[in-house]
Amino acid sequence: MQSKLFIANWKSNKTVSEATDWIAEFSKQFAVLRSKDPRSKVILAPSLVHIPLVKELSPKLDSFQIAGQDVSHFPLGSYTGAVAADQLRDLGVTYCLVGHSERRRYFGETHQLVAQKIELLVASSIIPILCVDEKEIEQQADLLSAKLRNSCIVAYEPVTAIGTGMGQDISLVEPVVSQIKSLFGDVPVLYGGSVNSINISEYLFVTDGVLVGAVSLDPQKFFDLTAVSYTLEEQ
C-alpha cells in the first residue's frame, strides 16, 4: 500500500478552545500510530487565526503538516486584509488549499486568480493543493505553466458532492483522476466531497488521498479515517 494523504479542512469552524481540544485528542492516537509507520501524511487546514496555536500544540512529526485554506493573489504589500504567501510561509505553513469551490462560489474567485495564487505559493515554497470540479480542470490547467502544474497536489472535488453527504460514484472518479494526471503530470491526486468512514476505502483505491470537510471536525472520526490505510494493508 503506497502512502496516502489525509487532509482535514476545518473551513470557518472552531473556537480556540475547540481547536485546542481537537489537537489534544487527535495527537494522542496519531503520534503512536505514526511512530510505527510514518508513510502516510495528515495535513490540517485550520482557520488562519488558529495556525500558530495548532502549530505549537500538534505533533512534531514530518507526517503531520499544516496548510492554509487560502492565500492572497497579491504578494506582500498594501492590500488590506490580505495574507500573502510569504506570511503563511513564516507561520510554518507547508501547503495551502487554493481554488476551493466555496472560494470560487462565495468570493468570486476566477481561474485567473487561482493561477496567480499558485504562482505566489510556489515562489514561497508552499505546495498548492488545487481544488477543481471536473468542469474546471482543463480551463484551470491551461492557465498554468507545466512547471506550476507539476508543483501542485490536485484535489478533484465535485461541487455536487461537497457537504451533501453524497460522495461521488467511484466509477466517475477514476476517469477524472486519469484526466488530471494526464494534464498535470504525475502529481498526487486526491478526492474530496462527503468522504466518510464507509466510502473512504473506495476512494483510496483510485487516488493518492482524500480532502475531508465535515468528518474532519470530529478528531476521533478523522483519526479513524487516517487509520484506514493500515486496515487496507492488512486485508
Q: Of residues 50, 73, 100, 119, which has the active-site annotation? A: 100
Please, are residues 190 and 7 in contact by the beta-carbon 8 Å criterion? yes
For the bound state, the minimum distance from the C-beta of residue 214 to ligand PGA, rounded and expressed in Å, comes to 4
57 SS3 class: helix
Which secondary-structure segment (H or E) carries 128? strand 127-132
The gap from C-alpha 35 to its chain's centroid, in whole angstroms, comes to 22
Looking at the DSSP assignment, which residues form a beta bridge with residue 64? 42
Q: Does 212 bind ligand PGA (CB under 6 A)?
A: yes
Stretch that binds ligand PGA, among 70-78, 87-95, 132-140, 210-218 (CB under 6 A): 210-218
Give me the 88-127 binding string for ligand PGA, x by CB under 6 A, dash otherwise: ----------------------------------------
Q: Does 193 bind ligand PGA (CB under 6 A)?
A: yes
Please, are residues 129 and 152 in contact by the beta-carbon 8 Å criterion? yes
Q: Which of residues 162-191 bind ligand PGA (CB under 6 A)?
A: 162-163
CA distances in angstroms from 221 to 165, 194, 209, listed in the order given: 15, 13, 16
Q: Of residues 109, 119, 136, 157, which has the active-site annotation? A: 157
For the bound state, the minimum distance from the C-beta of residue 208 to ligand PGA, rounded and expressed in Å, comes to 15
**Member of 8, 84, 88, 195 binding ligand PGA (CB under 6 A):** 195
- Over the Cα atoms of the chain, what is R_g? 17
Number of residues forming the site for ligand PGA (CB under 6 A): 12
145 — phi, psi (to 5°)? Answer: -65, 165
Q: Does 157 bind ligand PGA (CB under 6 A)?
A: yes
164 SS3 class: coil
Q: Which residues bind ligand PGA (CB under 6 A)?
A: 9, 157, 162-163, 192-195, 211-214
